[in-house]
């Protein structure tokens, strides 16, 4: 299968996933539907950014702009879902009094999520979403001499540069950048059906993602402690737990990268 054929099939599959997830978001509160929607948009954005030589520029720019509009609408909703699920799991390990103290926190988060969901639904009902799915139904690919394998090599090289900057004292932003690079390697490898790289890139993505989730959760917990002072003590205990998770995930990052580097094509 040529690179053009692979990307045609890849775009078609992501369009189907996008439509299916959008329908589930409309009809239910299923948090996995929001996740699936976000993944489909990220996969599409990755191939457009990583393999521009394969797409007609005007079409790609238009689709990219429409995809970029969806991020601000669905990002906060997904962040709420990840955080609330994490918070509920941690709260379940506390005693009855501490869980009771956190109930006002969950009530507040439910209201915040309602606003985030309304924003996401409004974006789905906007003309831009219909225009996006229509454009994806007829992807404008062009002939190019660049092999799709070269795109994977390029993304691995970018990830390698990001990982080279990370040591035990690296700022959180560098680990987050590595996570984004690992996602791009994974999605390009998916288009190539390079299963070994997909598996190893996902492992690295998960380790870096756990670190980022802990960073975000710690920030949100501190804000909630100000908004719900009666639960400040309990939230402070959970902040300490997130700090420990950040340290643990940092220790696993280098091991995950070594496995991916071994599986990836030479860069």
Lowest mean pLDDT among 4-13, 36-45, 171-180, 243-252: 243-252
Token digits of residue 19: 């439509």
Distance CA 119, CA 72 (A): 9
- Give tens-digit pLDDT for 76-107: 888 889 999 999 999 999 999 999 999 999 99
β-partners of residue 55 are 141
Q: Which CATH class is domain 1-145?
A: mainly alpha
- Give tens-digit pLDDT for 181-191: 999 999 999 99
pLDDT of amino acid 168: 82
DSSP letter assigned to residue 265: P
Distance CA 32, CA 34 (A): 5
pLDDT of amino acid 267: 61
SS (H, E, C) 207-260: HHHHHHHHHHHHHHHHHHHHHCHHHHHHHHHHHHHHHHHHHHHHHHHHHHHHHH
For the CA atoms of 132, 138, 141, 142, what is the dihedral angle to 10 degrees? -130
Neighbours of 203 (CB within 10 A): 19
Q: Give the residue extent of every domain in the chain.
A: 1-145, 147-267
Using a pLDDT cut of 90, give the percent of the chain over it.
82
Element (H, E) at 120: helix 96-125
Using a pLDDT cut of 70, give the percent of the chain over it.
100
- Give tens-digit pLDDT for 237-248: 999 999 999 988
Model pTM? 0.88
Contact at 8 Å (CB) between 232 and 225?
A: yes
Look at 230 and 267; give whichever has higher pLDDT. 230
Helix (H, G, I), strand (E, B) or coil at 30: coil
- Give tens-digit pLDDT for 28-81: 888 899 999 999 999 999 999 999 999 999 999 999 999 988 877 888 888 889
């Amino acid at each position: 299968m040529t690179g053009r054929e692979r990307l045609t099939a890849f775009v078609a599959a992501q369009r189907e996933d996008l439509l299916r997830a959008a329908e589930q978001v409309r009809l239910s509160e299923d948090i996995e539907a929001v996740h699936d929607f976000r993944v489909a948009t990220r996969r599409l954005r990755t191939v457009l950014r990583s393999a521009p030589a394969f797409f007609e520029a005007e079409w790609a720019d238009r689709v990219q702009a429409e995809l970029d509009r969806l991020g601000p609408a669905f990002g906060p909703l997904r962040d709420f879902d990840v955080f609330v699920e994490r918070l509920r799991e941690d709260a379940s390990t506390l005693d009855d009094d501490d869980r009771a103290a956190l109930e006002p926190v969950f009530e507040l988060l439910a209201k915040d999520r309602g606003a985030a969901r309304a924003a996401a639904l409004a974006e789905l009902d906007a003309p831009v979403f219909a225009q996006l799915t229509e454009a994806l139904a007829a992807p404008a690919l062009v002939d190019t001499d660049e092999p799709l394998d070269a795109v994977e090599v390029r993304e691995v090289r970018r990830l390698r540069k990001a990982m080279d900057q990370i040591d035990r004292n690296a700022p959180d932003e560098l680990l987050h950048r590595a996570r984004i690079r690992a996602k791009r390697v994974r999605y390009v490898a998916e288009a190539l059906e390079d299963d070994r790289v997909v598996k190893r890139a996902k492992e690295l993505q998960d380790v870096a993602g756990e670190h980022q989730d802990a960073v975000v959760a710690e920030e949100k917990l501190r804000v909630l402690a100000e908004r719900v002072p009666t639960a400040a003590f309990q939230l402070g205990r959970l902040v300490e737990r997130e700090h420990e998770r950040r340290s643990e995930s940092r220790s696993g990052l280098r091991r995950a990268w070594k496995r991916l580097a071994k599986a990836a094509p030479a860069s």
